[in-house]
A and B are shown apart, each in its own frame.
Chain A
Amino acid sequence: MKIGIPVLDELLKEIPRGKTLTYYIDPEVEGDVFGMQTLYRNLEEGYRCVYVTSTMSPTSLRNRFKEFGWYVDEFENFSVVDAYSAYVGATSDERYVVKDPTNLDELDEVIRKAIDENDLVVFGSLSTVIDICGEETLNYFERWKEQAEDSVIVSNFTAWPYSEDVLSKVKELSNAVVRIGGIHHRVILGHYYGILKVDWTQVKGRAVLFKVVKPGGVKAYIPKILVTGPYNAGKSTFVHAISNKAISVDRLGTTVALDHGKVEYKGFTIDVFGTPGQERFDPILKVLGSEALGVILVVDSTKPETFPRAKQLLEKTTHFGLPYVIAANKQDLPNALKPEEIRKLMHIPEDVPIIPTVATKKIGVYEVLDALIKLLIGEGYAKSEGAT
């Protein structure tokens, strides 16, 4: 069976029959589209697919598919398990109807039938079934998995703060787990997905940023990080130091257009843009800032007289509320100020990391990148969940 999600298609190839795939979704992230997209892709392939709805009526479900340009009713091989209508006192004329969605035995009977009669069963929200029927649902899920020898089960699971037992069991019961996460700042600035687990192929951890497009569904994109700072602070050197590939457009040794580098780091592919430090280029900063996910401010630690300009650049690029990290560069030179001295002079809040660096020798540059990634996605993906 197909997965239908960019990059996952290349990494996982396909879902073998008899396997389960769980989309493990952060509670504030629009993740239901993943299960829907996998289902639609397989409808197109001619497989018999059924969608279990517990959070919306079948009509709303079909309209939700339509939002993405997926007209599921045009496919005879599409059906719905309606585990919603009875809950709100409505009738249903779907092929599979759960008369009492709070009763696990009734749900079990319908799900078993759906597994027998279809190639793919997608749970629109496994977490909602658990919320309604209790944690015992997972014991039933284990039996559904055993029964699905010749079919595939895909689930959207919202990882609310359940007990650790529930969260672990959901992962254990799945042959593959794809985490759908949010890049948290004060708000969620972006979304990513990455493979936490798969038992039918070997993959290297890789995180992909995505946008949900209507119509279209999940689309992967490459995030941008902006490197800014006053004239001669070492921005170009910094961009070259962290990049696997980088180019600069410069004249007389200073950047007059943009530095651009591509960074492969901890499973992420990141586009890094270095801005010119001169004031005449300031108008482009806001444009770049509006498209970036985070900012690295490079300052020359030996030149406090440039700090007001550094603050000005920070204000221009973080106008949109982007998270930022400061690289206290040129720490190998005499009279270089320590990060805490810079924090005081620039009035930088305590929660903003200021990392000592010597970009010419690549000292501290990855710590800066680490600090920014930690600000963006927390400790989660890169450290504890197996990305390389």
Chain B
Amino acid sequence: MRIEILNIDVDSNNVMVIGPPLVGKSIFVRNIVWEKVSNGFGGVYVTTKDTAEAVLDWFQRFNLSDIKIIDCVSKTIFSDAPDTEDIKRVSIMDLTGISVRINMFLERFWKSGKRDVIIAFDSISTVLMYLNPQTVFRFLHVLTNRIKSFGAFAFYTVDEDMHDERTIAMLKQLFNGVIELKDEGNRRIFRYLSPSIRTEWRGFSIVNDRLEVSS
């Protein structure tokens, strides 16, 4: 899958986007989702940090409304806003519920003939705050296999400073591609790694929530 905004080809169905806090992982992933959904992909955004309304506002600022959202925040903070056709709410503790709703959206895309689908899971680190790594691993094992079987592309954000090395190593087994983000003080850089592609480090900046990659 070509990502124009990054000027890279991604050849992995399940990509971990890892970097330190505040480097811009969420905005980075949202920009990728925005590009693909604006160009005809079906899009699902699983949010564990912002409510569905906040995520939808972000995309609508850039003229995109056609996105499905799984909101794992509202129910956790005891808000009982109702589900809609495109927004499903589930507690972050309910991994089965998250899994069922991702599948429900995939099934809808499949039955409508849409085969190009992008999914963002933002973020795995929040799930790891509530549940132990083995539980999250089992959940991701099922999810990454489903994504691969469908032929979709999924991007999972991970805060690298929040977890021990063992957890990060365990997570890396599940993903066949990684986008690493780094903050070098005066500039931010990224690279993409997979078994067959290894890009150079490239600079990027975020201006008004839009991603700009240095040539």
Interface-facing stretch out of B44-52, B90-98, B193-201 = B90-98
Number of interface residues of A (CB under 8 A): 35
Inside 8 A of B107's CB, which chain A residues have their CB?
A: 187-189
B75 interface residue per 8 A CB criterion: yes
* B residues 79-96 in Cβ contact with A at 8 Å: 80, 90-91, 93-96
Inside 8 A of B99's CB, which chain A residues have their CB?
A: 27-28
Contacts A131-B131, A131-B132, A321-B111 given; does A25 touch B138 at CB 8 Å: no
Tell me if B132 and A187 are in contact (CB < 8 A).
no
- Can you name the residue of chain B whose Cβ is closest to the Cβ of A55? B94
Tell me if B96 and A32 are in contact (CB < 8 A).
yes
* A residues 102-154 in Cβ contact with B at 8 Å: 125, 127-128, 131-132
Q: Of B76, B90, B100, B138, which contacts A29 at CB under 8 A?
A: B100
Tell me if B113 and A319 are in contact (CB < 8 A).
yes
B149 interface residue per 8 A CB criterion: yes
What is the distance, in angstroms, from B80's C-beta to the closest C-beta of chain A?
6
- Between A31, A127, A131, A162, the greatest number of chain B beta carbons within 10 A of the residue's beta carbon is seen for A131
Tell me if A128 and B100 are in contact (CB < 8 A).
no
Inside 8 A of A87's CB, which chain B residues have their CB?
A: 93, 130
For chain B, the bracket of interface size reads 20 to 34
Tell me if B113 and A161 are in contact (CB < 8 A).
no
- Over the window 285-321 of chain A, the binary record of Cβ atoms lying under 8 Å from chain B Cβ atoms (1 yes, 0 no) is 0000000000000000000000000000000000111
Tell me if B94 and A31 are in contact (CB < 8 A).
no
Q: Of B96, B130, B138, B149, which contacts A162 at CB under 8 A?
A: B138
Q: A interface vs B, CB < 8 Å?
A: 25, 27-32, 54-57, 59-60, 63, 84, 87-88, 90, 125, 127-128, 131-132, 158, 160-162, 184, 186-189, 319-321
Contacts A55-B91, A60-B80 given; does A320 touch B150 at CB 8 Å: no
- Between B97, B106, B130, B131, the greatest number of chain A beta carbons within 10 A of the residue's beta carbon is seen for B97
Q: Of B76, B96, B111, B141, which contacts A158 at CB under 8 A?
A: B96
Tell me if B142 and A186 are in contact (CB < 8 A).
no
- Cα A161 to Cα B141 in complex, Å, equals 8
What is the distance, in angstroms, from A245's C-beta to the closest C-beta of chain B?
30
Inside 8 A of B90's CB, which chain A residues have their CB?
A: 56
Contacts A56-B93, A186-B110 given; does A28 touch B139 at CB 8 Å: no
- Cα A32 to Cα B97 in complex, Å, equals 9
Tell me if B93 and A187 are in contact (CB < 8 A).
no
What is the distance, in angstroms, from A57's C-beta to the closest C-beta of chain B?
6
